[in-house]
Each structure stands twice: as structure tokens, then as C-alpha cells.
Structure 1
Amino acid sequence: MTALQWSDEMALDLPLMDSTHKEFIELLQAVEAADDASLLTVWKELVEHTDAHFGQEDRWMADTRFASSNCHSVQHKVVLRIMREGQERAEKGELFVLREMGRELQTWAVQHTQLMDSALALHLRRVGYDPLTGEVVSPDNLPKELIHGCAGACSSGDDEVALAGAEH
């Protein structure tokens, strides 16, 4: 499989989000290219980056009235937990798990960016959110109720229940 490449179609017009996504893709490329001796080290860098990446997006959602149980945040928790489980298996010698996870994450990253992150980016622009300062420039545009779906990508809440079930 050819490693995922950053493209303009993945850009969401939020510089901090876009640069974080580019870094994520670069780390996925490094996982793809790593030899067995360096794979676990590169994977740990990916997990560390992903933890910060997801935490950053989760803070943005919390700042702009997303419920902590929204499907976007839940998906972050599930993916990060699975990545850590893969790391534990690799530490026991099962490096093939990380290779497979790296390939699967490439597909997931594109879908997650196009669906959930694009909806979040639209929401952040609508409320005038500054991701560097946490300031909301247009507080009148904040939703009156907490967002329980994914800001348009899956607003019914049904998927949220399904993802929460996947945690168990």
C-alpha cells in the first residue's frame, strides 16, 4: 500500500488543525516506512502526537458547547485506546499489529477528516473560535444546547450510542 499523502482536499481552512493533520500523516508515513528495529519507537511518537491532537480538538469542542460524550470525542477515545493496545502487543513482539493498524489508520484518517473534522472546522469558523487563544468571537452563534452528535456529520445521536458501545 502506498503511504497516505497530504492533499489540498484534506485541508479544512483552519491552519492549526491542518498543520496537526499534516503532522499526523507524516507520522503515519514514518510508520509505513519504518523497519522492525525502529517501528515501535515511531509508533510511540504517533501515539503521543495523536493523544495531543485529539486532546486539542476535544478542548475546542468543549470550548464551543459540544457535550463530552459527542460521537467525535468518543471516536477519539476509541481510536487512541486501540492504538495503545497495539503498542502493548508490539512490545510483546507482535510488530505486525502496528503495520496493520498503520494501514487502517490511513483510511480512517481520511474519513474522519472529511466527515467529523470538517464539520468541527465549519462549526469553529461559524462561532469565530480562535484555537490559539480559546476565544469565541461570535458567542451569539454558539448553540443554545450542548451538541451531542458531531455538528452535522451525525447529529441524531444514534451513532454516539453505537460508538460508546464499542468502548466496552
Structure 2
Amino acid sequence: MKDTSDIGTPPPTADECLELAWTDAMLVGHGPIDAEHQEFVEVVNALANCSADTAAACLQDLEAHVHSHFAVEKAWMEKTDFPAADCHIDEHERVIDAVQKVNAKLLLGELGLQDIRRLAKALADWFPAHAAYMDSALSAWVNKKTYGGAPVVLRRDLHADQRHAEAGA
């Protein structure tokens, strides 16, 4: 049965937006990965702030992006024999699976706008830790294998408490 509970639901107000704000704290030090991450933030934000009329298109954009983005990372992992590739790829596959399932249910009329926004929130919650741990490790590995050293990451706009935490204090 079709969920019609949020038909006509307007886009979220500014207070309700689930913005995943791009900051330099998300940089991992490999330009192509950082560019993919900036695009990921953009498509997740578009999904989080979509309307009932734009939800399907935003979800399709997200699905296309995660397929492309994760394929690029997988290629780097394979090219450089990344030791943690299996774990990293498994996590990507779980995200792709979730996005595909939501997309299929939306197309069948089984989900509503609030379900789409829940997916966007889940991705916004998941992404920072994934980037900070898994993708930063991939970046360090790719840079070591490609350039012989660790990445240099210049971060702007960090608050004093973020700088203090990142310094390991």
C-alpha cells in the first residue's frame, strides 16, 4: 500500500534542513578523493532538502554518485593493493545496497518523503567517520604508493577545539 502520509509535504524549513556542511576537516589529502567527497556532500544535501516533486531525481543522482564514487575508490584500492580493501569495499556495498533498496521502494510508491530524508540523515551521520577513518587511510596509502610519502593536508576554518583534538591533546 502506498504511503501517502507526506503527500504535499513542503521542503524542510531552514531549521529542519539536515545539512552536511563541507569543511576542511573532511579533507583526506588526496585531491581526487576530496573532490568525490565534496560531490557526495552536495548530493546528500540535495536529497535532504528535496521536495516530493524532486525526491526521485535526487535519489537517482545519489545512486549514480555512490556507484561512480565507490568504483573510483575501489580502482585505487586494487591498483595499490590497499590492505584494508575488503572491509572498505564491504562498507561501500552496504551503502549502495541501502540506496538501491530505498530507490526501488520509492519507485513502487512504498516510501514517502520522510523516508527519503531519513536516508539522507543516515548518510550524513555515517559519512564524516567513514571519511575520517577509512578514506583517510586510503588516502595515506595511495599517496605513499604513488608519491612515496604521507599526504599533506592544509585545513582552514577549524575551531580551536577541533585543532586541539586533531593534535592529539
**TM-score grouping bracket, smaller chain normalisation:** 0.7 to 0.9
Larger radius of gyration: 2
In 1, Cα distance between equivalents of 2:20 and 2:132: 14
Instruction: State TM-score, norm by structure 2.
Output: 0.72
State whether structure 2 residue 95 is matched by structure 1 residue 83. no
Residue 6 (structure 1) shift? 0.3
Task: Give the direction of change, closer, same or farther, for the CA distance of 1:111–1:27 in structure 2 (3 Å limit).
Answer: same
In 1, Cα distance between equivalents of 2:104 and 2:82: 32
- Partner SS, residue 36 of structure 1: coil
Equivalences for residues 15-164 of structure 1 within 5 A:
15-66=31-82, 70-93=86-109, 94-95=111-112, 96-128=114-146
In 2, Cα distance between equivalents of 1:34 and 1:87: 14
Residue 66 (structure 1) shift? 3.2
Equivalent residue letter for 2:104:
E
Task: Give the direction of change, closer, same or farther, for the CA distance of 1:68–1:18 in structure 2 (3 Å limit).
Answer: closer
User: 1:62, 1:68 within 8 Å by CA — same for their partners in 2?
Assistant: no
In 2, Cα distance between equivalents of 1:67 and 1:87: 32
Moved >3 Å (runs of 4+):
66-69
In 1, Cα distance between equivalents of 2:40 and 2:87: 21
Task: Give the direction of change, closer, same or farther, for the CA distance of 1:114–1:58 in structure 2 (3 Å limit).
Answer: same
- Partner SS, residue 37 of structure 1: coil
Residue 99 (structure 1) shift? 1.5
The alignment's C-alpha RMSD in Å is 1.6
Relative contact order (C-alpha < 8 Å, sep 6+): which is higher? 2
Residue 82 (structure 1) shift? 1.0
1:154 corresponds in structure 2 to: none
Residue 67 (structure 1) shift? 6.4
Instruction: State TM-score, norm by structure 1.
Output: 0.73
Residue 2 (structure 1) shift? 3.4
In 1, Cα distance between equivalents of 2:83 and 2:144: 18
In 2, Cα distance between equivalents of 1:123 and 1:75: 18
Residue 120 (structure 1) shift? 0.4
Equivalent residue letter for 2:133:
L
In 1, Cα distance between equivalents of 2:35 and 2:66: 13
Residue of structure 2 aligned with 1:2, choices 8, 18, 23 = 18
In 1, Cα distance between equivalents of 2:135 and 2:72: 12
Q: Which runs of 5+ in 2 are unaligned?
A: 1-16, 149-169
